[in-house]
């Protein structure tokens, strides 16, 4: 499968093993007829995630998301209009540990995305391997998530009309390893697949930054070249995610330790769309040109809002 960002897809053999084990478990229960029917459904519905998915509006509006939003709280800040006559790729930064800001703003309707951007349908791209897991795939599609593959994103940008905005967490699992409170480090310098996709489909590029995303957990960050960091990198390449040693708050109080995120404000600022021409086969030079423009636009967004949302005026955005 063609993957937009290298290292973000489970190996096909691993997917088959996981799916097979789950289906075997389901078959050897008293509800095996339901399992059998679902297996038939899964065979015929296997490629649906690559063709725009299947979202349910009621799930995006579920009242639970309001409590989820208010726990941190999470808010969405609009700086420019997005016109329904265009398609967009929204770069979401940083990854953090769980991408709470991207999920809350682009998958749920709790922060008013549709009111701020009327006529725009948001999608959030995630690991393609997640859509090979029985039942879990249905939940992901129902909220508007899609695989971070060229086929899935290309479908939304070329065969689903206009007014589509696909949010991609560019840094991915590699970026989560550098997640620390008060530090803004992005893995972006060599991530150019999203720019090539934008050029091929004429989709405008939009930078976004979730201030506070890195404040939700405390992580043990291992130095580059250390044996623990090497293990994390190997797992990322093999499984598509990086095992991180982190902690948050516990169930009893904010002062206890556990795995709940700390209640810290997250503010996702969506920047100005960058016009991109449609070029079916863009050259490396053209991709580099627009990748550079995107980075400058992202830096401008960060610098204009950093002092308002938790950073100092002297803090800089580090791009690796």
**Together in a domain, 185 and 126:** yes
Q: What is the pLDDT along the chain (320 residues), one digit of tens a residue?
A: 334 643 344 444 445 555 555 566 556 667 667 777 877 788 888 889 998 888 888 888 888 999 999 999 999 999 999 999 999 999 999 999 889 999 999 999 999 999 999 999 999 999 887 888 778 888 889 889 999 999 999 999 998 899 999 999 999 878 887 777 888 899 999 999 999 999 999 999 999 999 999 999 987 777 777 777 777 677 766 666 666 778 889 888 878 888 899 999 999 999 999 999 999 999 999 999 999 999 999 999 999 999 999 999 999 999 99
Q: Does residue 159 belong to any structural domain of this protein?
A: yes
Assess contact for 185 and 178: CB atoms under 8 A.
yes
**Together in a domain, 106 and 204:** yes
300 alpha-carbon distance from chain centroid: 22
Q: What angle do CA 84, 89, 90 make, to 5 degrees?
A: 100
**Together in a domain, 57 and 40:** no
Tokens 């349910």, located at residue: 56
d(CA 19, CA 213): 32
Q: Does residue 105 belong to any structural domain of this protein?
A: yes
Q: What are the φ/ψ torsions at residue 317 (nearest 5 degrees)?
A: -85, 120
In this prediction the pTM is 0.86
**Together in a domain, 21 and 107:** no
Q: Does residue 2 belong to any structural domain of this protein?
A: no
Beta strands in the chain (DSSP E): 74-78, 88-93, 121-126, 145-147, 164-169, 185-186, 204-211, 218-219, 246-249, 257-258, 266-270, 318-319
The pLDDT of residue 3: 44
237-259 burial string, b = 16+ CB within 10 Å, else e? eebbbbebebebbeeeeeeeeee
**Together in a domain, 31 and 144:** no
Q: Does residue 231 belong to any structural domain of this protein?
A: yes
**Together in a domain, 36 and 62:** no
**Together in a domain, 107 and 29:** no
**Together in a domain, 302 and 248:** yes
Q: Total structural domains in the chain?
A: 2
The pLDDT of residue 12: 45
**Together in a domain, 111 and 260:** yes
**Together in a domain, 21 and 167:** no
Helix and strand numbers, DSSP H then E, in the chain: 12, 12
**What is the extent of the structural domain holding 222?**
53-319
225 alpha-carbon distance from chain centroid: 27
Tokens 């803090």, located at residue: 315
The pLDDT of residue 242: 67
The pLDDT of residue 262: 93
**Together in a domain, 63 and 124:** yes
Q: Does residue 281 belong to any structural domain of this protein?
A: yes
Assess contact for 135 and 59: CB atoms under 8 A.
no
Strand partners, 218: 247
Q: Does residue 4 belong to any structural domain of this protein?
A: no
Q: Taking Cα atoms as reference points, which of 170, 127, 121, 169 lies closest to residue 146?
A: 127
Q: Does residue 128 belong to any structural domain of this protein?
A: yes
Q: Does residue 120 belong to any structural domain of this protein?
A: yes
**Together in a domain, 95 and 33:** no
């Amino acid at each position: 499968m063609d993957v937009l960002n290298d290292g973000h897809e489970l190996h096909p053999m691993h997917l088959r093993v996981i799916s097979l084990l789950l289906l075997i478990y389901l078959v050897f229960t008293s509800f095996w007829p339901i399992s059998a029917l679902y297996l038939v459904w899964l065979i015929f519905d296997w490629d649906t995630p690559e063709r725009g998915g299947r979202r349910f509006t009621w799930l995006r509006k579920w009242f639970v998301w309001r409590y989820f939003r208010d726990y941190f709280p999470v808010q969405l800040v609009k700086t420019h209009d997005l016109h329904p006559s265009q398609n967009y790729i929204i770069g979401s930064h940083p990854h953090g540990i769980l991408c709470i800001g991207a999920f809350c703003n682009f998958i749920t309707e709790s922060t008013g995305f549709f009111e701020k951007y009327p006529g725009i349908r948001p999608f959030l791209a995630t690991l393609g391997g997640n859509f090979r897991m029985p039942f879990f795939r249905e939940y992901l599609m129902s909220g508007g998530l899609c695989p971070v593959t060229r086929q899935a994103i290309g479908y939304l940008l070329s065969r689903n009309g206009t007014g589509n905005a696909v949010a991609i967490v560019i840094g991915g699992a590699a970026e989560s390893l550098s997640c620390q409170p008060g530090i803004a480090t992005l893995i972006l310098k060599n991530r150019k697949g999203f720019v090539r996709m934008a050029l091929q489909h004429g989709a405008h590029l939009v930078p976004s930054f979730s201030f506070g995303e890195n404040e939700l957990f405390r992580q043990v960050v291992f130095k580059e070249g250390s044996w623990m960091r090497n293990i994390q990198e190997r797992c990322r390449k093999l499984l598509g995610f990086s095992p991180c040693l982190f902690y948050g708050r516990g169930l009893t109080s904010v002062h206890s330790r556990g795995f709940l995120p700390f209640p810290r404000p997250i503010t996702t600022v969506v920047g100005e769309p960058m016009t991109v021409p449609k070029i079916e086969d863009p050259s490396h030079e053209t991709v580099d040109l627009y990748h550079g423009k995107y980075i400058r636009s992202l830096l401008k967004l960060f610098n204009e809002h950093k002092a308002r949302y938790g950073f100092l005026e002297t803090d800089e955005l580090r791009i690796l």
